[in-house]
Amino acid sequence: MKRKIFLLFMSLIMLLNVGIGNVYADETGKNALNFRKIYKEHRTYSSAVGISANSLGDIAIGFNDDYINVYDKQGSFKYSFAFEVNGNYFFEFDNENNIVIFSVTDGMRYYFNNDAELIKTEKISDPKELKNYYKNRPDKENVNIDGVNYSLKQVLGYIKFAKTDADGNESVIYETGLQYAVKAFVALTVLAFLAIVICGFIKTISTEMKKYTEV
Among 20-29, 66-75, 189-198, 200-209, where is mean pLDDT lowest?
Answer: 20-29
Beta-bridged to residue 171, according to DSSP, are 163
- Pair 67, 79 in one domain: yes
- Pair 72, 90 in one domain: yes
Question: For the domain that residue 129 is a member of, what is the CATH number?
Answer: 2.40.128
- Pair 130, 195 in one domain: no
Q: Which domain holds residue 215?
A: 177-215
What's the domain count of the chain? 3
Among 107-121, 146-160, 180-194, where is mean pLDDT lowest?
Answer: 180-194
- Pair 81, 145 in one domain: yes
- Pair 63, 88 in one domain: yes
- Pair 196, 147 in one domain: no
- Pair 16, 49 in one domain: no
Q: What is the pTM of this model?
A: 0.69
Q: pLDDT value at position 32? A: 65
Q: Across residues 102-123, what is the average pLDDT?
A: 94
- Pair 48, 150 in one domain: yes
Answer for the pair 50, 141: CB distance below 8 angstroms, yes or no: yes
What is the Cα gyration radius of the chain?
Answer: 26
Q: DSSP character for 139?
A: P
- Pair 145, 43 in one domain: yes
Q: pLDDT value at position 179? A: 57
- Pair 183, 169 in one domain: no
